[in-house]
Amino acid sequence: MTIQTKAGKAGCHLKTGRRLARARARTGEGARTGPGISPEDIADHNSRVVLALLRSLGPLTRQELSGHLSLTEPAISGIIRRLVEAGFLEEGKRDVGARYKAAEFAIRPASAHALGLWLCPDRGELVMADLLGNVLEEQTFAPGDMSAAVKLALTEYGQNLCGAGIACHPGVEPDRDMLAAMLPGRPLFYAKDTEAAVAAERMLGIGEPEGGFVVILLDETVRAGLMTGGAFFRGVHGRAGDIGAMRPGSEERSLNEVASAASLRRHLDAFGQGGLDDWMRKAASRLLDAVVAIAGFVSPGAVLIGGDLPDDVLDRVIGMMIADREKKRSYFVATSWIPPIRRLSFSHCGVARGAAMLPFMELLLPKPH
């Protein structure tokens, strides 16, 4: 992921004028130039963890937060005070006895908004989401209409905008200068669309299973994204996930040629609906080979598949993969590392929703270790 902001910092400027996230680079008075963890680092981390807990568990009391974080209640009170003053939390009351009500704290969803864009060769998709991941605005626009779509979303929800995530389809190069001009002063986070799909699953879908998980997208190409330890895995040269060129032998066709949505269209044009079963069997077999190859190196907790295939076709391909997976268990000596396979949690891959989660992940929620 690359980050671009007007001032070269990653900060979250909301209506309150407060800034919870630390800048990636500090200059001027108070800058840290040596190693170590500062009190500011600790306060920032604890605030992020509290927000993450409240996102996942709902309203909690000081005592409950103290138990989750192993911090004293006075320390929790300090964290809560900062978050309430910044506008991220609201206080309620919970009945805990006949005569006693305890203060509980919950996230104010509208305290922070984030914009997500998925830029494809033939279209764009936009999502505006709040801090809990609720979709406030969703649009599909023609490539030349991005500016109008963004302007419309900002008119309604731009006041508490903390940043934007931009996910790019392979081969699409975003106009970064134009995006920076459209969103002045806001941090912009650029990522592959597979990474945005992973972010959607981590924040709004499957969560973080042990070992992480892999997302495979099937449209014009076949490609994968991997999250492990809460971080995207990109490989040494940043090319991890480019699995479309995989082939089991020099005489065999690549994954792009047998398992992409584009290959399905070509197959149906050549053979009609009568050739659908043959395409699905080949696609399922080759996709499972790719899953086994990936799992042999990184052992993910799950593999999730989505893309532009019709829903019934995608379900049948996954069903065939699961059946073949059980057969492979019968002849592989080590079988536990062949992960569960299922479809993605969101239609249309959830890429734009995941892109909208990137600013929250970077600015407000815990960083991976």
- Cite the residue boundaries of each domain of the chain with CATH code 1.10.10.10: 2-19+39-109
Greater confidence (8 vs 265) lies with 265
Q: Taking residues 20-39, report their average pLDDT.
A: 49
Domain 208-344 has CATH 3.30.420.40: yes
CATH class name, domain 2-19+39-109: mainly alpha
Widest distance between CA atoms in the chain: 78
pLDDT at 234: 86
Q: Taking residues 27-53, report their average pLDDT.
A: 73
Residue range 200-243, pLDDT digits in tens: 999 999 998 888 899 999 999 999 999 888 888 888 877 889 99
pLDDT at 368: 66
pLDDT at 220: 93
Instruction: Name the residue type at position 357.
Output: M
% of the chain with per-residue pLDDT over 90: 66
- Cite the residue boundaries of each domain of the chain with CATH code 3.30.420.40: 112-199+350-361, 208-344
Q: Taking residues 32-38, report their average pLDDT.
A: 59
Assign 337 a pLDDT band (cuts: 50, 70, 90).
low
Q: Taking residues 67-94, report their average pLDDT.
A: 94
The label of the residue with tokens 């927000």 reads 51
Asked whether 218 and 252 are in contact (CB, 8 A), the reply is: no
Kindly report the number of other CB atoms within 10 A of residue 225's CB atom.
26
Q: Taking residues 31-53, report their average pLDDT.
A: 79
Residue range 191-201, pLDDT digits in tens: 999 999 999 99
Query: Which residues in 250-351 belong to E strands, given as ranges?
Result: 302-307, 341-343
pLDDT at 296: 80
pLDDT at 262: 94
Beta bridge partners of 4: 188
The whole-model pTM stands at 0.86
Q: Is the pLDDT of residue 101 over 80?
A: yes
Domain 112-199+350-361 has CATH 3.30.420.40: yes
Residue range 136-181, pLDDT digits in tens: 999 999 988 999 999 999 999 988 999 999 999 998 999 999 999 9
Q: What is the mean pLDDT of the chain?
A: 86
pLDDT at 249: 82
Residue 231, SS3 per DSSP: strand
356: enclosing H helix or E strand: helix 351-363
Greater confidence (349 vs 79) lies with 79
